[in-house]
Amino acid sequence: MAFEEKIQPIKRPIMVLGTSSGTGKSLTVTAICRILKNLGEEPIPFKGQNMSNNAWVDWDGGEMAYSQALQAFACGIVPSSEMNPILLKPQGNSTSEVIHLGESIGITTAKDYYKDWFIRGWKVIKKSLNSIYERNPNCRLIVEGAGSPVEMNLIHRDLTNLRVAKYLGANCILVTDIERGGVFAQIIGTLELMNTEEKKLIKGILINRFRGDLSLFEEGKKWIESKTQIPVIGIVPWLNDKFPPEDSLDLLENKSSDTNPEINVGIIKLPSISNFSDFDPLENEDSIKIEWIKKSQNLYKFDFLILPGSKQTIKDQIFLEECGLSQDIREYSKNKGNIIGICGGLQMLGSTLEDPFSKEGSETYSDQRIKGIGLLPLKTTFVKKKLTRQINSLSLWPCLSEINGFEIHNGITKLDSSQNILEIKPIFKDIDLGWYKENNKGGTIAGTYIHGIFENDKWRDHYINIIRKSKNLPLLDKKTRSYKMKRESIINNLANEFDKHLNITSLLN
């Protein structure tokens, strides 16, 4: 990297790097954010570039990765897209949507990204860092890296690891996952691939996900410190608290632990699933078991089905038709089945999907129109500009309740006048946010554009009580602890466990 004037923060940032993807960087940052908040500091999370379809929308309508929003919650502050200035949203075929400071600005292939977007990307990262420090001069940035910092074929165009660390002069922690095995090689190999300036930034090593007796690793700890001359500042045990997975492939491993649930929920595992954090409130319901559905099957064992959001709705609807799941869902709806579609899931439940501007890749389809599952009389047209905004509304069904959430979608959905629209009703006072209708045998089919709908406790409890009543189960206690309180409890528990095993004060000077 050519010489570049560096930022001189009042409080030296802490940066969490990993020996690979999946070492626990996101949760480590989340824990450190809460620990420092409890110490009276002013922590702010930052990740220069993230790749994820699990997004959140800030109060200015800007998209950002949900993991940085969660880290902001841990800091006790309002999330902002400046905390994640570059978000790449994969959409298949080695292409991604590029989002800078919350706004979608283009599509790129993986091959062209570093060639065409690197200079603009580094500018937007520096702009965000300077803006954060102008407004919060006494803050301490807690920075998350991405993947490995020493991918040698890409390191000259790295936007979010060592380039950021050097620009900020950050105190860096190198996190490794002992559960994967080969922890010594992970650490030594990563450090050996750094140059002298970069290696000096590593102030501590964190061993994550350790199982068993910590004393058994004492000799290993001494060897690492002797070999690297860097202290092992923490050995964190395996933790079982659930957090949103950063990669949708992890969903299959994120199964509910209740072996005798009162309610079974099936969620369709779409190839281009997005915003899977929508279902964390259900994961935290003791009486609910979630199962992810990937292939055609008899769905009658489920008390309700969810069609989640999708980054490629038409592509995923074609998948459902070809694999037989569309027909399974239609059959399920005939037998008191309860179905909820969220965003792309809402669109798929409708009668038709139209893509006149090829926002969904419909140049491969001759008529730029396909059929939906056909359970709701709705027509969706994908337009040029994406809608992203926070939502405050009032629900009319299944109860009167204030609703908070957010929207991220290209499609505009309207009632399909060619279908029977007499039975369909709006879910919200803002009628374009969702609709529902009852089945002939008592079930309901509903769809909404609101991400985070299940975080609304009263709404969630009333919907679950519809299911419980149909099964002659006692209704939920209206004093059920709110999901956001549970999330706070999980963050506190996470921070407390890290605080027991991580010497963070050594990095604060």
Q: How far apart are CA 158 and CA 151, in angstroms?
A: 9
Catalytic residue among 100, 409, 451, 462: 451
Q: How far apart are CA 140 and CA 11, in angstroms?
A: 5
| Contact criterion met (CB below 8 Å) for 464 and 261 | no
Rg (alpha carbons) of the chain, rounded to whole number: 24
| Collapsed DSSP state (helix, strand, coil) of residue 33 | helix
pLDDT of residue 67: 96
Look up residue 335 and give its DSSP letter: T
DSSP H or E segment with residue 29? helix 25-38
DSSP H or E segment with residue 438? strand 434-438
pLDDT of residue 244: 54
| Collapsed DSSP state (helix, strand, coil) of residue 323 | helix
Q: List pLDDT tens digits, range 291-336.
A: 999 999 999 999 999 999 999 999 999 999 999 999 999 999 988 8
For this structure, is 451 an active site residue?
A: yes
First-residue to last-residue Cα distance in the chain: 27
pLDDT of residue 360: 78
SS (H, E, C) 449-501: CCECHHHCHHHHHHHHHHHHHHCCCCCCCCCCCCHHHHHHHHHHHHHHHHHHH
Is residue 424 over pLDDT 80? yes
Strands (E), 294-346: 304-307, 309-310, 339-342
For this structure, is 462 an active site residue?
A: no
CA 470 to chain centre: 32
Closest CA to 464 of 262, 299, 278: 262
Q: What are the structure tokens assigned to 118, written together?
A: 């690197």
Average pLDDT score over residue span 174-186? 94
Task: Enumerate residues 6+ apart whose C-beta is below 8 A from 222.
Answer: none
**pLDDT confidence of 3, banded at 50, 70, 90?**
very low
Q: In sequence order, what are the beta bridge partners of 394? A: 402
Task: Enumerate residues 6+ apart whose C-beta is below 8 A from 219.
Answer: none
Q: List pLDDT tens digits, range 378-415.
A: 999 999 999 999 999 999 999 999 999 999 999 999 99
**pLDDT confidence of 240, banded at 50, 70, 90?**
low
pLDDT of residue 407: 98
Q: What is the pTM of this model?
A: 0.93
Closest CA to 314 of 410, 171, 430, 201: 410
pLDDT of residue 288: 93
pLDDT of residue 255: 47
Average pLDDT score over residue span 429-439? 95
Q: How far apart are CA 414 and CA 180, in angstroms?
A: 49
| Contact criterion met (CB below 8 Å) for 137 and 147 | no
pLDDT of residue 478: 63
| Contact criterion met (CB below 8 Å) for 137 and 171 | no
Catalytic residue among 33, 100, 343, 409: 343
Q: In sequence order, what are the beta bridge partners of 270? A: none
Closest CA to 276 of 245, 254, 311, 255: 245
Buried b / exposed e along 65-86 (16+ C-beta atoms within 10 A): bbbbbbbbbbbebebbbbbbbb
pLDDT of residue 248: 43
More confident residue, 242 or 275: 275
Q: Which domains does the chain have, with CATH numbers?
A: 14-239 (3.40.50.300), 250-483 (3.40.50.880)
**pLDDT confidence of 367, banded at 50, 70, 90?**
low
Q: What are the structure tokens assigned to 285, written together?
A: 């319901």
Average pLDDT score over residue span 169-173? 97
H helices, E strands: number in the chain: 14, 25
Q: How far apart are CA 129 and CA 4, in angstroms?
A: 15
Q: How far apart are CA 330 and CA 322, in angstroms?
A: 14
Other beta carbons within 10 angstroms of residue 234's beta carbon come to 22
